């Protein structure tokens, strides 16, 4: 059969497949359009009161005022009728118009607050529903000027960049230890990362529970984890194919990325805590983070202990792992959003899980066992170290 005869048949078959794939989509779109144009026939008026669900996304305290960013999580419009602070009626601005689904509104409450005092702000809707918001410690929200960004950058360097760099100084020692000991260190690395992953999930779930539920709530943590795991798996495979067998260098990079995503989430937590006055910027906190995060540098250099990475590559790995703490602190203090933070913590957890999966094969001994005594000891030691140093950190 000649190509002149075969090509038209192939073209018709391809067109047929395309039509078969698009036909259901076109039918669905037509049915939805007809349903909307006919005014949702058969549903009628919904009985009962409107469903009102509000969440507080951000609190800004300025002299004499408390500003709340309110988001409508429910299906119905919401109108703010009254505001109370510590059970006393107060005047407010904002919210004059109905707040539609997924829309947000800034409610500015007139309240001469006192620094260090606790306040309960209650918003009363037009149907009698109440939304309460606790302010445990009233502190003026810092302005986002140059000194603010400098302070957040300095804090990010203290708790992210410097500790990771110090941990990477273990590289010369790692090059001198026997292969059996190195497997134990790799197991310790897995233990460290496991606690980091669990911590990221728990923090993300806690943040998601206190934020807007309309965008997914706790599901954002698991979605973020899946995105990071699948994305980094694809990137790792691509890098391994291009690196001509340099798997150890690729693994070190993946560990640095995973730790960097986790430190980004930590930076967000630190920045947001600073913005609401719940962060003690003291030497104890800085020392606690330094000890806690130094072990992350060890995790990065463990896979490349037998190679000779350049100083430039080591610096790059350290910045990938530590510098996101600076960006997270800026974002957390200046534009904190619970839903975004929950997703980012999920990203960190998923990235760490992906790295752990890649590290497991490095734990195998000469008999092919993964959970041999040395590996088990390293795993438990890593988990104990990360848990113990984590007790020094309180944000």
345 falls within a domain: yes
Whether 261 and 368 map to the same domain: the answer is yes
Whether 106 and 206 map to the same domain: the answer is no
Q: Residues 210, 79, 84, CA angle at the centre, nearest 5°?
A: 65
> Would you state the pLDDT for residue 223?
93
Whether 346 and 383 map to the same domain: the answer is yes
Range of the domain at 170: 146-390
339 falls within a domain: yes
49 falls within a domain: no
Nearest-angstrom CA–CA distance, 197 and 328? 17
Predicted confidence (pLDDT) per residue in 261-304, tens digit: 878 877 887 777 776 665 555 555 566 666 767 777 888 888 88
Q: Nearest-CA neighbor of 216 among 341, 69, 70? A: 341
Q: Is residue 128 over pLDDT 70? A: yes
Contact in structure between 54 and 78 (CB atoms under 8 Å):
yes
Q: Is the dihedral of CA 168, 172, 177, 182 positive or negative?
A: positive
Q: Of 135, 163, 192, which one is at a domain's C-terminal end?
A: 135
292 falls within a domain: yes
Chain centre to alpha carbon of residue 328: 10
In angstroms, what CA-CA distances link 249 with 215, 256, 353, 355? 38, 11, 18, 13
372 falls within a domain: yes
User: How does the average pLDDT of the chain come out, rounded?
Assistant: 80
196 falls within a domain: yes
> Would you state the pLDDT for residue 275?
65
20 falls within a domain: no
Give the CATH number, domain containing residue 104: 2.60.40.1890
> Would you state the pLDDT for residue 289?
67
Whether 164 and 118 map to the same domain: the answer is no
Region 160-188: what's the mean pLDDT? Answer: 83
In angstroms, what CA-CA distances link 369 with 170, 176, 372, 373? 27, 24, 6, 10
Q: Of 88, 112, 135, which one is at a domain's C-terminal end?
A: 135
Region 119-141: what's the mean pLDDT? Answer: 85
- Per the model's pLDDT, the better-predicted residue between 174 and 119 turns out to be 119
Whether 230 and 355 map to the same domain: the answer is yes
Region 351-363: what's the mean pLDDT? Answer: 81
Predicted confidence (pLDDT) per residue in 40-82, tens digit: 676 666 666 677 788 888 888 888 899 888 888 888 888 888 8
Q: Is residue 228 over pLDDT 90? A: no
Q: Nearest-CA neighbor of 303 among 220, 190, 209? A: 190
12 falls within a domain: no
Region 166-173: what's the mean pLDDT? Answer: 86
Q: Is residue 1 over pLDDT 50? A: no
> Would you state the pLDDT for residue 108?
92
Locus of tokens 């037509």? 30
Whether 159 and 306 map to the same domain: the answer is yes
Confidence of residue 222 (pLDDT cuts 50, 70, 90): very high
Whether 202 and 69 map to the same domain: the answer is no
Assigned token pair, 168: 């990477």
Q: Nearest-CA neighbor of 196 among 309, 9, 321? A: 321
Could you give the percent of the chain with pLDDT greater than 90? 4
Q: Of 135, 170, 188, which one is at a domain's C-terminal end?
A: 135
Whether 92 and 202 map to the same domain: the answer is no
Number of folded domains that form the chain? 2
> Would you state the pLDDT for residue 226?
93
Highest mean pLDDT among 140-144, 254-258, 282-286, 294-298: 254-258
- Per the model's pLDDT, the better-predicted residue between 15 and 310 turns out to be 310
Whether 75 and 159 map to the same domain: the answer is no
The number of beta carbons lying within 10 Å of the beta carbon of residue 355 is: 28
Confidence of residue 244 (pLDDT cuts 50, 70, 90): low
Whether 92 and 196 map to the same domain: the answer is no
Whether 70 and 131 map to the same domain: the answer is yes
Whether 170 and 253 map to the same domain: the answer is yes
């Amino acid at each position: 059969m000649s190509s002149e005869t075969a090509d038209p048949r192939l073209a018709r078959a391809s067109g047929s497949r395309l039509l078969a794939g698009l036909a259901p989509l076109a039918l669905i779109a037509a049915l939805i359009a007809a349903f909307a144009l006919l005014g949702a026939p058969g549903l009628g008026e919904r009985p009962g009161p409107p469903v009102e669900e509000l969440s507080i996304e951000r609190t800004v305290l300025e002299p004499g005022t408390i500003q709340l960013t309110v988001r409508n999580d429910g299906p119905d419009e919401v109108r703010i009728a009254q505001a109370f602070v510590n059970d006393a009626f107060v005047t407010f601005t904002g919210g004059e118009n109905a707040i539609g689904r997924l829309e947000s509104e800034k409610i500015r409450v007139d309240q001469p607050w006192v620094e260090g005092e606790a306040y309960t702000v209650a918003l009363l809707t037009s149907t009698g529903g109440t939304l309460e918001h606790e302010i445990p410690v009233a502190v003026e929200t810092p302005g986002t000027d140059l000194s603010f960004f400098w302070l957040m950058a300095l804090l990010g360097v203290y708790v992210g960049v410097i500790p990771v760099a110090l941990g990477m100084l273990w590289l010369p020692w790692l090059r001198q230890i026997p292969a059996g000991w190195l497997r134990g260190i790799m197991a310790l690395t897995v233990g460290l990362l496991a606690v980091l992953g669990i911590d990221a999930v728990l923090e993300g779930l806690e943040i998601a529970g206190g934020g807007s539920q309309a965008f997914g709530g706790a599901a954002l943590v698991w979605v973020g984890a899946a995105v990071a795991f699948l994305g980094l798996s694809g990137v790792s495979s691509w890098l391994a194919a291009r690196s001509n067998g340099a798997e150890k260098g690729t693994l070190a990079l993946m560990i640095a990325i995973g730790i960097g995503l986790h430190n980004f989430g930590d930076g967000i937590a630190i920045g947001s805590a600073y913005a609401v006055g719940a962060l003690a910027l003291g030497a104890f906190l800085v020392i606690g983070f330094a000890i806690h995060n130094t072990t992350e540098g060890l995790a990065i250099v463990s896979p490349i202990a037998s190679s000779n990475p350049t100083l430039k590559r080591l610096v790059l790995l350290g910045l990938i792992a530590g510098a996101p703490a600076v960006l997270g602190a800026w974002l957390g203090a200046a534009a904190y959003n619970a839903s975004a933070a929950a997703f980012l913590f999920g990203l960190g957890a998923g990235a760490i899980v992906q790295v752990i999966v890649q590290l497991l094969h490095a734990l195998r001994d000469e008999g092919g066992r993964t959970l041999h005594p040395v590996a088990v000891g390293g795993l438990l030691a890593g988990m104990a170290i990360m848990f113990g140093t984590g007790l020094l950190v309180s944000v």
